[in-house]
Structures are given as C-alpha cells and as structure tokens.
Amino acid sequence: MPIGIERINARRPQPNSRIVFIKPLPGPTAAFAQDFLERVAAICHPIMKANHLSVMSLEEYEPNPEFIGRNFNAGEIIQLVLKTPYSGHWMSFRSVVMVMMHELAHCVQMNHSGAFWKVRNGYAGEMKELWAKGYTGDGLWGRGKTLLSGEYDGRGEFEAGEMPRSLCGGTYRTLRGRKRKRKGGAAEEKKPLTHAERQQKRIAKKFGTNGVTLGDDEDTRVKLEDGKKPKGKPRVAKSARGRELRAAAALARFGQQQEEVKAEQEEGDSTSDTESDYDNPTVKAEDARDLNGAKLLDGKGHGMIKVCEEEDGDDVHVKEEMQELRDINNIAAASEETEHATAVVHKQLLSTEHKGKQNLAKGTSTPLAEKTLIPKTAPTTTMILPKESSVELTCPVCSMSNDSSSLLCMACSHVLDVRKTPRHWKCTSEACAGSLYVNSEDYGICGVCATRKPD
C-alpha cells in the first residue's frame, strides 16, 4: 500500500495491497465492473510488489473509440476501458490485463521512449509467466472464478471497426511547481570543506574570482583616477585619495557582478549546482481536456497537462503490442475450449467413480458399458485428463471445494478423510446431534458448538 495510506477495518479482503481504491462506473453493470477490476488488481499484485509500484485509484472509464487505458501523475489514477465502444461487450480479461501492464510501465516512464518499452515488455513477460503457472491472485482471489466472471471471460474480440485508435490515451501530470532533481542525484554526498576552502569560497562569493590587485593594471588605475595618471599609489590608507580609490573600485566590482548575473539569467542555470529547486509555476501550458471537452483536474482541483501523447500507429513497438493483444485473445479462446472439454471428461470420470462406489456398497459390479462413458470417437480438441491431485473434494458440511490431498476443510476445518486422521472425534452435545461434522485430533473444543473434547 502506498506510503501514508493505511486501510483499517476493511469489510472484505483487498485483492491487491498496492492499490488503495477500485472504482467502477455507476450503473447496472457496476457489480460486474467491480469484480473485473478486482481480478485485474489481484493478478497484478506480484508484479507491483516486486517492482515497488503503487496505484492510488484503479478506475473504469467509459467505452470510447480512442483508447483503452491512461495514467495520471505516475500511478495516482489509472483508468481502464472494460467494454468495446459500439457493441458494449466485455473485453477479454487478458486483453485488459496487458493494457494494465502498459499503464503500470508509465509509473516508471511517463513517455513512449525506448526505455518505456523495455519496462513494459518486462512486465508483460512476468505476466505471461504468471499465466503459465495458473496464478490468479493471493488468498481468496486464487480460485480464479466467480459468479460474475462468465460475463467477461469470453473471447471479447473486437468486431470490425471497433478497434480503438490507440491503446494508450496518454499520460498526464498536475500543472504546478515540482522539485527538480539535482545534478548527480541524492546518492552524491558533498565532502566537508576545510577552513581555508570555506574562506576562499566566501571571498569568491563576495569579490568574484580571477581578480587582480587594484593599481597594478595601468588602464584600470587611470580609469579609477578619473582619467588622471598619478605617479604613485596613495601612501596613507585613510587619506581622501585612498577612500576615493576604494569607493571607485567597489562601484566597479558591483557593476561587473550585475553584468554576470544578467548573463547567467539569459543562458539559464539548468546545469548549475545552484539552480532553483522548483520549476517556474508561472509557465503557460495548455490545459489537458477530456474526450467530452471538459478540463481535466486532479484531486485538489489543479489543472493537468499532457506529458505524453497517444501512441504512434506506425511505431514498430505499437504494432507488436497490438498484434500481441490479438494473439492473446486467440490463445484465451483455445484455452477455454480445452478447459471445457477437460471439464466434461472430468465430470464423466467422477460420475463413473460415484456409481462404482454405490455398486460396491450394494455388492454388485458395474457393467463395462457403464464404466466407459468416454465417447468412442475422439474429439477434435486435444483433451488433457486431470491428474488425481487436481480432483477436488466437496465438504459435506459447508460445501467448500478442497484439494484431494487436504486433510481438513479450508473453510470449516471438518475432517475430510477419517482414514488419514484416525484419532478424530465427534461432538456428542445436543447442538451437534445428527451433525456430520468431525473434529481433528488436535482440536480441544468442537468447531461447531465450542464444547470441550471428552477425556
């Protein structure tokens, strides 16, 4: 979570500790958009944590033919478009995630330079590795499917004429005085000066450098003496001639310093160590405008300027990114077909196993025809049979799906397989009469009614 922000007494677990607020557009599809953005935030958490990225607000933006995402103040706000502009269909989940990778890269590089594309491609590569591992989020977000996910888990391809003009709508920053980075960075430490060096620095600041002794230069001496050429130097320091000479020298030095200051102001002091710490806040810049023509403002009401324009369609990096987006849609569609076919085979295997157990209990055998439920003709889609470890066990108490290797239910701690936990015990209290709940051997009280374990 960003520095200075702490969420206390949250009603539900947050999908990403590096994102503070998630805001969908109000309307009938707000619940779907909220779920969509939360899943995007959940899968991005490892990348944001590893690269020390933080986002104050992840928001949905209205469908438009111009862009899909944009970034404000290097991650203060990231806006994503979740629907196609004309048909209003939900975009594919992976497409929006790749747009999120693009906008996260703008938190490091605000323009579309070569350095930006290096960062963006790195984040995209990390995301593909997470997809290959089947990662969808931490904790409760690790299941990957929700009751709402079917609305936007389809292919989500853009129809003819619906492809936006640019993937990124640009980056923006607040128009106000911002600190400059000093030359050398914060890592450069100044060495302490000796007494002699401090004295020389004080003299140079007061009288300037590369000076000569007054009177040694014949031309300067004549100029200070109002055009006269005296034979020698004033012998008495407090004499009238000595005072006049010192006053004339002081005026000459003052005029010379004024000319030097004026020259420095004209040339600019951007490379000097004594430059101003802040940009000039009076610089006139064109205020950024939204698609509807409204002036863009930050959270404090300050105007914003556009740091980076939309992507150049002829740029090779932009073309590769758009092609990558199309390929991701095709891969996602093929993956869904394979998952559906695998789920059908999985269901058939579980049904066969269930019938076999029922027949064993009755003392009868299952006919061979009933055991083989897989069709004789091989389907066109390559199907991968699930491993034994991927079969889920449903808890009879709370209906939570658990991994087959789990001893206890992850929700209610009910003992799923009593054969693997021989010293289990059941509560005999009136509240648990007729209950299927079985306590583990190391539980001192019942997980349902809190009755102590019998001795």
Fill in the amino acid letter for 252: A
Give the pLDDT mean for 230-253.
70
Looking at the predicted structure, is the pLDDT value of residue 445 above 80? yes
Among 172, 57, 33, residue whose Cα is nearest residue 110:
172
Q: Report DSSP letters for 273-289, one per residue.
A: TT--SB--TT---PPPB
- The average pLDDT across 439-450 equals 84
The residue with greater pLDDT, 443 or 56, is: 56
Give the whole-angstrom CA distance, residue 213 versus residue 353: 107
State the chain's maximal CA–CA distance in angstroms: 137
What local confidence, expressed as pLDDT, does residue 57 receive? 92
| Residues in a beta bridge with 19 | 55
Q: Are strands 19-23 and 55-61 parallel, antiparallel or unpaired?
A: parallel
Question: What per-residue string of b and e applies to 178-192 under the rule 16 or more CB within 10 Å gives b?
Answer: eeeeeeeeeeeeeee
Counting beta carbons within 10 angstroms of the beta carbon of residue 290, is it exposed (0 to 12), middle (13 to 18) or buried (19 or more)? exposed
Instruction: Compute the distance between CA of residue 402 and CA of residue 410 in angstroms, rounded to an integer.
Output: 7
Q: Is the dihedral of CA 159, 161, 167, 168 positive or negative?
A: negative
Question: Which pLDDT does position 408 carry in this prediction?
Answer: 86
**135 or 276, which is more confident:** 135
Q: Which amino acid is at 300?
A: K
pLDDT at 252: 75
Over range 342-362, report the average pLDDT: 57
Instruction: Please determine, for residue 217, whether its predicted confidence score (pLDDT) is greater than 80.
Output: no
Percent of the chain residues topping a pLDDT of 70: 63
Residues pairing with 61 in the sheet: 81
Tokens of 66: 């111009």
Find the angle CA(410)-CA(411)-CA(417) to the nearest 5 degrees: 55
Candidates 48, 47, 56, 52; CA nearest to 20 is 56
Would you say residue 273 has pLDDT above 50?
Answer: no
Higher pLDDT, 26 or 295: 26
SS3 content of the chain, % helix, strand, coil (to 5): 35, 10, 50
**Amino acid residing at 219:** D
Q: What is the pLDDT of residue 373?
A: 42
Helix (H, G, I), strand (E, B) or coil at 143: helix
The Cα–Cα gap between 171 and 67 comes to 12
What confidence tier does 280 reach under pLDDT thresholds 50, 70, 90? very low
Average pLDDT of span 263-271: 55
pLDDT of 373-386, one tens digit each? 444 444 444 444 44
pLDDT at 219 over 60: yes
Determine the average pLDDT of the residues in 411-421.
84
Pairwise pLDDT comparison (115 vs 239), residue with the higher score: 115
Mean pLDDT across the chain: 74
Structure tokens at 145: 């499917």
288 within 8 A of 305, measured Cβ to Cβ: yes
Q: Output the DSSP codes for 341-388.
A: HHHHHHHHHHHHHHHHHHHHHHT----HHHH--S-SSPPSS---PPPG
Distance CA 372, CA 357 (A): 15
List pLDDT tens digits, range 65-120. Answer: 888 999 999 889 999 999 888 778 888 889 899 999 999 999 999 888 889 999 99
Signed CA dihedral, 241, 243, 245, 251: sign only: negative
Which positions ≥6 away from 121 have C-beta within 8 Å? none
The C-alpha atoms of residue 8 and residue 20 are separated, in whole angstroms, by 12
Mean pLDDT of 221-243: 66
Q: What angle do CA 367, 373, 376 make, to 5 degrees?
A: 110
CB 427 within 8 A of CB 446: yes
d(CA 100, CA 168): 10
Q: Helix (H, G, I), strand (E, B), or coil: what is residue 172?
A: strand
Query: For the whole prediction, is pTM greater than 0.85?
Result: no
Whole-number percent of the chain with pLDDT over 90: 18
What is the C-alpha to C-alpha distance for residues 155 and 329, in angstroms, rounded to an integer?
A: 6
The confidence band for 353, taking pLDDT boundaries of 50, 70 and 90, is low
Which of the residue ranges 80-89, 224-233, 303-312 has the most confident prediction, judged by mean pLDDT? 80-89
Average the pLDDT over each of 133-142, 161-170, 215-224 and give the range with the smallest value.
215-224
Question: What's the whole-number mean pLDDT along residues 331-345?
Answer: 53
Instruction: Give the type of residue at 405.
Output: S
Which pLDDT does position 233 carry in this prediction? 61
Which residue carries 């324009």 as its tokens? 309
Q: 276 or 448: which carries more pLDDT confidence?
A: 448
Euclidean distance between CA atoms 79 and 72, whole angstroms: 9
53 has pLDDT over 90: yes
